[in-house]
Amino acid sequence: MEEWGAGSRTRRVVKSFTTTHLLRPTPHCASLINLLIALVVFFAGCSTDPAEHVFEKAEKSLGTGSFEEALLQYSYVVNKHPESSYAPKSQYKIAYIYNKYLGERKRALDAYATLYYMYPGSAETVDAREDLAQIYSDLGDHRKAIAHYQRLMVERPGDAQRFHFAVASEYMKMNDLAQARVEFSELLRTTGSHVLIPQIYFNMGGMSYVEGKTSEAMEWYDKLISKYPKDPFVLEAEFYKAKVLNETGRQGEALVLLREIEPQYHNKAAVTALREWIEARLKDGHDPKTLPPGVNPP
């Protein structure tokens, strides 16, 4: 028993000695540790993306409107550092500059195509898709625009309703009013956006007006005016309502409405022209009974 106890004490002393020396590094060990830390910091600094500096310079050039210089710098990143995380960003910016600032659609399309070819999985391809949709819409290739907007509805679910509105608008531009009405009607069932709904009401009224459905057009315009009286589209709705009133024999009501919106309508000349035309009709002997109470022919 005594020998076991003595041995146990010896082991405790050895253990204590070993632990103490492991936890308390010698001056030589401390120097090695400091050296290792310095090397880690050094190599971490050296591992910075070599394209970052040039990309930042390109961003500054773009910000100051030096587009040609920015193009050269972004191109340098793509050509010299194609594996860099800044490369897809740079390729997108090249396309963006040609598209938005220089108006060179052909070069922009080529640059977007390069982005999709070199970096098909990058986040920038989603931004590029929206740009491409707008380009194709402007070029009159509405089918391609619709295809891109429909992809965006999936890729950016948070903006799906905005892109759905764009799809419906493209059908309007194609004069496919039946499909446009289907898309807008679906949006009315699903959206709660106080930005989109007034625009949808206005577009539905416009399509009805074009199709000669004046009563239906009036209903849409009145719905917009009554539900969203402060929306910017109200003035547009009131102008087109005045046109419907005029075309359905209610020139007096149209005249009152035109006089009301004339000072604030963005295209004052259009309002003035219609107002003067109606006034001329009334002056030439149009039945004054169509005028509301208190309004006399000019």
129-171 pLDDT, tens digit per residue, is 999 999 999 999 999 999 999 999 999 999 999 999 999 999 9
CB 203 within 8 A of CB 169: yes
b or e along 4-27 (b: 16 or more beta carbons within 10 Å of the residue's beta carbon)? eeeeeeeeeeeeeeeeeeeeeeee
Question: How much is the pTM?
Answer: 0.77
Residue 9, CB-side half-sphere exposure with 13 Å CA sphere: 5
Which contacts of 134-140 are long-range, i.e. CB under 8 A and separated by 24 or more positions? Answer: 135/99, 135/105, 135/108, 135/109, 137/170, 137/173, 139/105
Which tokens sit at 165?
Answer: 């509105």
Classify residue 139 by its DSSP letter. Answer: T
Instruction: Kindly tell me the sign of the dihedral angle through the C-alpha atoms of 57, 60, 62, 67.
Output: negative
pLDDT of residue 281: 87
Which tokens sit at 234?
Answer: 């109200």
Tell me how far CA of residue 258 lies from CA of 6, 184, 207, 286, in angstroms: 112, 28, 21, 18
Which residues in the chain show pLDDT less than 70?
1-47, 286-298
Query: What is the CATH architecture assignment of 50-122?
Result: Alpha Horseshoe (1.25)
